[in-house]
Structure 1
Amino acid sequence: MPVKYYEIRWHSRAGQGAKSASQLLAEAILDMGKYAQAFPEYGAERSGAPMRAFNRISDEKITIHSSVEKPNVVVVIDDTLLSPSIVDGLQDDGILIVNTTHPVDYVRKKTGFKGKICTIKATDIALEEIKRGIPNTVILGTIAKVTGLITLEAAEQKIRGMFEKKLSAEMLQANVKALKRGYEEVSCSG
């Protein structure tokens, strides 16, 4: 019997935190006793260039190492990338998560996606809480809420473990607050 994978495809621009967010998610999954992969795919390797990152999650050992073509979830960190091609392979029972200040109807019109769309003002939250426009911790909270793949507590534990020696106590707390706001403020439709 083939192994069932839960797959996520991330779309952003280089430097917006998609690679880091996918890595944080994979490490939180591993900490919960499951198997996970996280890997990026770059086009032109320069800041601001469109890029993709991927996660593959399973209860069993993962034996494939290819890009994700039929994701369960698509995460878009930069809404200027919205187009019908962004949801290629995403079935109507999948989830589209978008970092945007635009309403769901705007996202639906830009992508043509008929399934569940979740929006979060992740960049705004990141600017308010951590004073930087890199929304990876906000998006991690959003994924915890929308998918249930990880708990908010597991995400917080991963952030604390990864950053407590790198950041001041104040900045660490700001990242945790951003994570919690991503969990609490996401809005879904469909």
Structure 2
Amino acid sequence: MGSTTSLIEVIFYGRGGMGVVTAAEVLAEAVSREGKYGQAIPIFGVERRGAPVRAFGRISNEPIQIRSEIYEPDYSVVIHASVMDLMDVSKGLKKDGVVIVNSHLSPRELSSRFRKGVRVASLNATKIALEELGVAIANTAMLGAFARVSGQVGLKALTSAALMRFSGEAGQRNVNAIKRAYEEVQFE
């Protein structure tokens, strides 16, 4: 499903305190380990823990000059599915764009929530996070799913970036979550 165009844009959706910004930052670090350029842009407001939040990520083979919000993403990564009741996570999605959802539902079951033509991938990243990390913070698992679905970042670079971000046992647990999600994500 991956594209080799020079700029790939990703919007991460979730809730405050659930690692949405961290996901964008780890992705940016991971692609830089592959010789690409990565950018993470957090959106901060008066959000409190649990409030809907977004973060933006860009991947490019060229230096990234733009530093704005993303309005037409290639990928939407929904870390906490409840935000789909509050935000249109497919808004502006490019043709052939993909929404990757943390859900126990299959891509087929989720597809009715989106306009025709939106491709959907899903996995139960919360379950993986609980089993691997002991907490329901699914950001790194969703990065594993993104890597598999998009082809924009390799598993080795992603796990290396996670180990840099999370030290010791927490790092290895996040690596395990990434690898499981990479294998378990479903997409059509």
Instruction: Give the TM-score normalised by the residue count of structure 2.
Output: 0.90
SS at match of 1:65: coil
Residues 42 and 50 in structure 1, CA contact (< 8 A), matched pair in contact too:
no
Change (3 A) 1:88 1:154: same
SS at match of 1:175: helix
Could you say which residue in structure 2 is the equivalent of 1:52? Answer: 54
User: Does residue 1:107 correspond to 2:106, yes or no?
Assistant: no
Residues 14 and 51 in structure 1, CA contact (< 8 A), matched pair in contact too:
yes
Which whole-Å deviations, capped at 9, do the CAs of 1:36-68 have from their partners, x for residues lacking one? 110111343201111110011111111111101
Change (3 A) 1:4 1:153: closer
Deviation at 1:70, TM superposition (A): 0.7
Could you say which residue in structure 1 is the equivalent of 2:149? Answer: 146
**RMSD, aligned α-carbons:** 1.7
Could you say which residue in structure 2 is the equivalent of 1:86? Answer: 89
The structure whose Rg is larger is: 1
Report the AA paired with residue 103 of structure 2. T
Could you say which residue in structure 2 is the equivalent of 1:157? Answer: 160
Percent identity reads 38
Residue of structure 2 aligned with 1:16, choices 13, 18, 23 = 18
User: Does residue 1:186 correspond to 2:147, yes or no?
Assistant: no
Provide the C-alpha distance between the structure 2 equivalents of 1:103 and 1:113, rounded to a whole number of angstroms: 16
Residues 10 and 58 in structure 2, CA contact (< 8 A), matched pair in contact too:
yes
SS at match of 2:43: strand
Provide the C-alpha distance between the structure 2 equivalents of 1:173 and 1:63, rounded to a whole number of angstroms: 34
Could you say which residue in structure 1 is the equivalent of 2:40? Answer: 38
Provide the C-alpha distance between the structure 2 equivalents of 1:105 and 1:43, rounded to a whole number of angstroms: 34
- The alignment of Structure 1 onto Structure 2 pairs a total of residues equal to 183
Residue of structure 2 aligned with 1:76, choices 48, 55, 78 = 78
Report the AA paired with residue 116 of structure 1. R
**Hey, which bits of structure 1, 4+ residues long, moved more than 3 A?**
none
Report the AA paired with residue 92 of structure 1. K
Provide the C-alpha distance between the structure 2 equivalents of 1:186 and 1:155, rounded to a whole number of angstroms: 16
Could you say which residue in structure 1 is the equivalent of 2:173? Answer: 174
Instruction: Give the TM-score normalised by the residue count of structure 1.
Output: 0.89
Structure 2 residues without counterparts, runs of 5 or longer:
none
Deviation at 1:114, TM superposition (A): 2.4
Report the AA paired with residue 68 of structure 1. I
Structure 1 residues without counterparts, runs of 5 or longer:
none
Provide the C-alpha distance between the structure 2 equivalents of 1:63 and 1:172, rounded to a whole number of angstroms: 31
